[in-house]
Structure 1
Amino acid sequence: MTQPESTGYDYDVVISGASLAGSAAAILLARRGVRVALLERRADPDAYKVLCTHSITANAHPVLDELGLVPAIEKAGAVRNEARWYTRWGWIEPKAAPGGPELPYAYNIRRSTLDPMIRSRAGGTPGVDLLVGHQVTGLVREAGRTAGVRASTPQGEREFRARLVVGADGKDSAVAKYAGVPGQEYENGRFGYFAHFRDLPLRGGLGHTWFLDPDMAYAFPNEDGVTVIAVLPGKKWLPAFREDLEGSFLAFVRALPEAPPIDTAERITKITGTVNYPLHSRNPTAPGVALIGDAALTGDPLWGVGCGWALESAQWLAEAVAQAATGRGAPGDLDASLVAYARRHRRRLRGHQYLAVDFARARPFNPLERLMFSAAARDEAVARHMHLFGSRLISPLRFLNPVAVAKASAVNLKHRIKHRRAAVSPPPAHLSRTEP
């Protein structure tokens, strides 16, 4: 076990939660010279998150690369998360520009594969003590700030003193609760159910998302020939759905345009889900505390952004606080680095979350969404632009910048003119002649 320094701290940083965000933060901090205790409440080192989209958006590919996980993920059979999206105007099918670079991507990979992989990588990183079966039960407070945690361990209660406590413990974060971190909760107007199927072909081998305006569904291919299918209807359908969960789920999927052939595939899991999955936004920091992943911000699962944001927020935190967390800086450096992390977190994610909260009301598309989605179904350049936004590589302001909106408007105007001309054009001569 890492030996404590004579500073009164057992570790520089204690992280609660050893899933994606916590394990990534532990690795990235330790590589920068930080002594880390990585606490995981579950005793099984192969434990994993069940309720998940199992998809990592392209914005997190650089984090996977820095972690050194890309070769292992690809060896495990992860599928590049290229996708096509159904709308009432047709399919949006992003493709690389002729002669241009390939579209950015990351991976679909089940958490049963990914979580043990990254947790094992964290446990093998010099400077990280991975402690499973350790559940945070409270915080150590000193001079008005958090200075460690109390935890229930297999050997009994124990204190872990540290300069910084990181909550990577999910949407119901105990660290956030004990620290009194303020936040907001937003109702989700949809419920969701998931199931995994084996040997389920999808057109082009691509992921599919159905924007049924306002109901939703998706099918994401994963490693080992397994496809995750989710249905996310508006809550007005919940009473009827609950009467026959399996029948309702299967009927919903069968009715999708270009529906996946689930009746010829093997379902390998039961149908699981949630009827109430609110969105959370919390302050990412408090004195001596930082929150990452779902503990800081829980998005709508229909967008599949949780894994990507967990990895990104871990990287942002490590980049901001590593030097100060070791105690090598001047007094006050840790607080200043936490301010920098919080500012970056808000700047990068607040706009995305604002749009997600609005769309989670399970309302129909608004006029701007109708403009962008319809144009993307008709024009490859707009489809590529939408792919960058869906991959969270550009901000909402850049996605909806005046040039992009003007381009979408021009595409739709051209489409309307073309169809208007087709409607008024006389038929060919050989069809207009009348029989004697």
Structure 2
Amino acid sequence: MTADSNVTEPSAGSATAAIVVDIAIVGGGLAGSLAAAVLARAGHRVALVDKRAVHPDEFRVEKIGGRQLEMLRKLGYLDALDNVACRYDQVLNIREGKVVDVSVGRAYGLPYADLVAMARSQLPDPSSLIVDEVTAVNCRDDLQHVELASGGRITARLVVLATGMAGVLGYKLGIKRRVLAERHSVSFGFTIARRDHAPFDFEALTCYGERTADGIDYLSLFPVRAGMRANLFMFRDPTDPIMRELRREPEATVLRLLPGLRPYLGDFHVIDRVQNWVMHLSVVEGHLQPGVVLIGDAFQTNCPAAGTGVARLLVDVERLCTEYAPRWLGTEGMGREKISEFYSDRDKVAADQQSLKMARFRQALTSRNDIGWDVRRRLHFLRRSITHRLDQMRPGWLAQVRSALRA
């Protein structure tokens, strides 16, 4: 059963019926759901296929801010995000118990499942979501055929694979994933609250790692409706015993790894399940094929600590759904020459390259202990601290400088 009676579900009667659309999107996470909403709102016939009517509670994207908000505004979703997420406007950044600087700017915290639900709610027609499993995709230069586990079929001009890191369908098409960095990073997510039920003395807080040996990039604390969410990003062997300790005794382990946090958190406890995620950096090969295009993590994975994953995803959605797909549908055929335009798009290529660059930078800044990186790390935080102090003495100075540099 589905949570919405308007959602198209597989049934015995529909097993022989073919659904005909302009674009079939496989995978109803954030990338697929946003792409479906953008295309459907532009008047294209869209089928969004996912195994679940309601996306499960996954530890994925939990905060949105900075340039990501500008892109959501451009796509027309910022108001919808404002209605479902917790907004915050200031982040206190600390290291070794001392203030590094304060980040100012609008940001939002919310569970990934709520983010996906927000994207799906923007579909003009809820029946565009088909709750089923795709078993095969047959792609050609003209029409594409999608086979469903229920026995149903979808015929489309274009198929968009937004299946995240699940590569079964891609593998059947000859698309393979090349690992660039195995077990690149480990992330933990949990929610905390003070034992006396008092609010924390900050809107949001980022605490950076204190020792390279710990492999901690930073702990990010930000509000969600359930409390204060914690995202911990590490570059460390996921089989290390510290991973088990973080799951079993998160409060004591976090304070042992980041002792400078203690004055800011007071007597706190974890109020939900500790989730963790091991990320491999990877890209796909053999993806340039007629009639099918990959977006988001289905094309390239990201380092969560770098914070570039959502930006990459939004670039993919914006370029494909507002520039290329509408133009491709205006002429016959869906051959490789059309598909290649998206993969070689300047903005997309830049976002993909920046994501990998930042992944390597964050790991080196966190973990490298040679003299060169030690000096670079010290200068990185010193520059931020000096800039912050100057801005405190002359409020607005930093904003004026940044404005002048952009001009």
Structure 1-normalised TM-score? 0.71
* Aligned residues of 2:295 and 2:317 also touching (Cα < 8 A): yes
- Bigger fraction of residues in strand: 2
How far residue 356 of structure 1 moved from its aligned partner, in angstroms, is 0.3
- SS of corresponding position for 1:10: strand
Find out whether 1:151 has 2:148 as its counterpart: yes
Equivalent-residue separation in structure 2 for 1:171 and 1:368 (angstroms): 34
- SS of corresponding position for 1:229: strand
- SS of corresponding position for 1:235: coil
How far residue 354 of structure 1 moved from its aligned partner, in angstroms, is 2.5
Residue type of the partner of 1:205? E
How far residue 15 of structure 1 moved from its aligned partner, in angstroms, is 0.5
Counterpart among 266, 270, 275 of residue 272 in structure 1: 275
Equivalent-residue separation in structure 2 for 1:331 and 1:246 (angstroms): 52
Structure 1 match to 2:396: none
Structure 1: gaps of 5 or more residues: 3-7, 97-102, 384-402, 405-436
How far residue 207 of structure 1 moved from its aligned partner, in angstroms, is 3.3
Which moves more between the two structures, 86-95 or 302-311? Answer: 86-95
Change (3 A) 1:246 1:318: closer
Which moves more between the two structures, 290-299 or 362-371? Answer: 362-371
Find out whether 1:220 has 2:221 as its counterpart: yes
Equivalent-residue separation in structure 2 for 1:112 and 1:335 (angstroms): 36
Residue type of the partner of 1:192? S
Find out whether 1:16 has 2:26 as its counterpart: yes
Change (3 A) 1:215 1:30: same
Equivalent-residue separation in structure 2 for 1:188 and 1:382 (angstroms): 40
Residue type of the partner of 1:378? I
Counterpart among 193, 202, 205 of residue 203 in structure 2: 205
Residue type of the partner of 2:88? R
Residue type of the partner of 2:309? G
Equivalent-residue separation in structure 1 for 2:390 and 2:136 (angstroms): 50
How far residue 260 of structure 1 moved from its aligned partner, in angstroms, is 7.4
* Aligned residues of 1:320 and 1:341 also touching (Cα < 8 A): no
Counterpart among 337, 346, 349 of residue 352 in structure 2: 349
- SS of corresponding position for 1:163: strand
Equivalent-residue separation in structure 1 for 2:90 and 2:57 (angstroms): 23
Change (3 A) 1:176 1:304: same
How far residue 236 of structure 1 moved from its aligned partner, in angstroms, is 4.8
How far residue 166 of structure 1 moved from its aligned partner, in angstroms, is 0.8
String of CA shifts for 1:70-114, please: whole Å, max 9, x gaps. Answer: 333323342236434334695432456xxxxxx4x4422222322
* Aligned residues of 1:197 and 1:262 also touching (Cα < 8 A): no
Equivalent-residue separation in structure 2 for 1:251 and 1:33 (angstroms): 54
Structure 2 match to 1:64: 72
How far residue 38 of structure 1 moved from its aligned partner, in angstroms, is 0.4
How far residue 309 of structure 1 moved from its aligned partner, in angstroms, is 2.9
Bigger Cα Rg: 1
Structure 2 match to 1:287: 290
Change (3 A) 1:263 1:46: farther
* Aligned residues of 2:26 and 2:134 also touching (Cα < 8 A): yes
Structure 2 match to 1:363: 367
- SS of corresponding position for 1:207: strand
Percentage of identical aligned residues: 20
Equivalent-residue separation in structure 1 for 2:57 and 2:71 (angstroms): 20
- SS of corresponding position for 2:151: strand
String of CA shifts for 1:4-31, please: whole Å, max 9, x gaps. Answer: xxxx981111111112111111111123
- SS of corresponding position for 2:225: helix
Structure 1 match to 2:305: 302
Change (3 A) 1:201 1:93: farther
Structure 2 match to 1:425: none
String of CA shifts for 1:150-190, please: whole Å, max 9, x gaps. Answer: 221xxx22221212111111122444333323443122344
How far residue 56 of structure 1 moved from its aligned partner, in angstroms, is 1.6
Structure 1 match to 2:50: 40
Equivalent-residue separation in structure 2 for 1:116 and 1:73 (angstroms): 10
Equivalent-residue separation in structure 2 for 1:234 and 1:36 (angstroms): 40
* Aligned residues of 2:302 and 2:309 also touching (Cα < 8 A): yes
Structure 2 match to 1:141: 139
Change (3 A) 1:128 1:207: farther
Equivalent-residue separation in structure 1 for 2:343 and 2:126 (angstroms): 22
Equivalent-residue separation in structure 2 for 1:57 and 1:188 (angstroms): 26
How far residue 205 of structure 1 moved from its aligned partner, in angstroms, is 0.8
Structure 2: gaps of 5 or more residues: 1-6, 9-17, 392-404
String of CA shifts for 1:317-376, please: whole Å, max 9, x gaps. Answer: 1123232343x2255688436424543311222123133045447622725454333311
Equivalent-residue separation in structure 1 for 2:248 and 2:126 (angstroms): 51
Equivalent-residue separation in structure 1 for 2:379 and 2:264 (angstroms): 31
> What are the residue-to-residue correspondences of 1:13-412 with 2, within 5 Å?
13-42=23-52, 45-80=53-88, 82-87=90-95, 91-95=99-103, 103=105, 105-122=106-123, 125-126=124-125, 129-132=128-131, 134-142=132-140, 147-152=144-149, 156-185=150-179, 186-198=181-193, 201-212=199-210, 213=212, 214-224=215-225, 226-236=227-237, 238-242=239-243, 244-255=245-256, 256=258, 257-259=260-262, 264-265=267-268, 267-274=270-277, 276-282=278-284, 285-326=288-329, 328-329=330-331, 331=333, 335-336=337-338, 338-343=340-345, 344-357=347-360, 359-360=362-363, 363-364=367-368, 366=373, 367-380=375-388
Equivalent-residue separation in structure 2 for 1:371 and 1:234 (angstroms): 21
